[in-house]
């Protein structure tokens, strides 16, 4: 199967590589020359444009920062027109449900198919092929895509119609952001109380304070080898992207009359990190606003 992959960043490249390893003909494109070079080094074919990558592709996968990027790649850069007439478009980006439905309408109007399939699991999940997929779209289209999703992930959920995958991802990321904020607060307090990071993980990890953020992204260097805190918060899931996702959640909550005071506070703190020049760091760097490392930290009292 020929697969066009657009977006070869921290998540996209390892995901595309799993499809290549599974025996598919994967042609990748990214606006970054360095990303294209990395794809070539990983064994993928690399194209110089989205349309070139998508030429006669059976499947077009997008893994991009936001909905406007997805629309630009598919429509303005003509990846959709270049793909096979019955191609399946699989958008793994995190965008709004409304944008997913808008894109789906434009794709299906050409006779092609569309699924929104955002992921959870972080860069480690992408590298290890253990991602969770939250899929919105027709059941038949999901079944057609299932072998591809299984090559990249461990869990696949059909959330409902187009846009439902994005809604499910948005809710998940709301909880992730708040879990990380509370983990950062607890981590700093534990340090000042003389409790080691490993002790916190050992106890909370089997108690009611357990969370994915605790076990996988502990914000103090040392106990979790793969955590961004062990590489100065580089890589991982950036502050800027988490802030974008919380913006989607806050907009949806406002539209549906849901009070999101905790989500709004974490979003404000992410804004502080962006203002302090830390937008490219992993979002677990929220701890910098608690331990005083970030200069834009404000009082929490």
Q: CA–CA separation, 286 vs 169, rounded Å?
A: 21
Would residue 169 show up in a list of annotated catalytic residues for this protein?
yes
Chain-centroid distance of CA 112 in Å reads 25
Annotated catalytic residue within 2, 71, 169, 244: 169
Q: CA–CA separation, 19 vs 57, rounded Å?
A: 14
Task: Single out the residue of 97, 96, 114 nearest to residue 105, CA to CA.
Answer: 114
Task: Single out the residue of 45, 49, 57 nearest to residue 31, CA to CA.
Answer: 49
Radius of gyration of the chain (CA): 20
Q: CA–CA separation, 67 vs 70, rounded Å?
A: 5
Q: How far apart are the first and last CA of the chain?
A: 57
Annotated catalytic residues are: 169
């Amino acid at each position: 199967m020929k697969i066009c992959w657009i977006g070869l960043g921290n998540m996209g490249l390892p995901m595309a590589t799993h499809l290549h390893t599974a025996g598919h003909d994967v042609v990748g494109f990214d606006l970054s020359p360095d990303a294209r070079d990395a794809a070539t080094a990983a064994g993928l074919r690399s194209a110089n444009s989205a349309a070139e990558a998508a030429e006669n592709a059976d499947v077009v996968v997008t893994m991009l920062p936001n909905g406007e990027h997805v629309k630009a790649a598919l429509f303005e850069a003509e990846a959709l027109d270049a793909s096979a007439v019955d191609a399946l478009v699989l958008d793994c980006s995190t965008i709004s449900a409304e944008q997913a439905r808008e894109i789906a309408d434009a794709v299906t109007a050409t006779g092609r198919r569309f699924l929104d399939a955002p992921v959870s699991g972080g860069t480690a999940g992408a590298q290890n092929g253990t991602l969770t997929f939250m899929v919105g779209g027709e059941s038949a289209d999901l079944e057609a895509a299932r072998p591809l999703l299984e090559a990249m992930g461990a869990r696949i959920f059909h959330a409902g119609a187009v846009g439902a995958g994005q809604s499910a991802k948005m809710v998940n990321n709301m909880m992730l952001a708040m879990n990380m904020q509370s983990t950062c607060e607890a981590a700093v307090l534990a340090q000042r109380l003389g409790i080691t990071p490993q002790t916190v993980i050992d106890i909370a990890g089997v108690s009611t304070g357990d969370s994915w953020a605790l076990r996988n992204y502990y914000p103090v260097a040392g106990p979790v080898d793969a955590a961004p805190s062990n590489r100065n918060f580089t890589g991982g899931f950036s502050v800027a992207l988490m802030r974008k996702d919380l913006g989607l959640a806050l907009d949806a909550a406002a539209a549906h009359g849901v009070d999101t005071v905790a989500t709004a506070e974490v979003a404000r703190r992410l804004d502080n990190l962006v203002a302090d020049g830390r937008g490219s760091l992993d979002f677990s760097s929220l701890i910098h606003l608690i331990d005083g490392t970030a200069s834009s930290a404000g009082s929490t009292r």
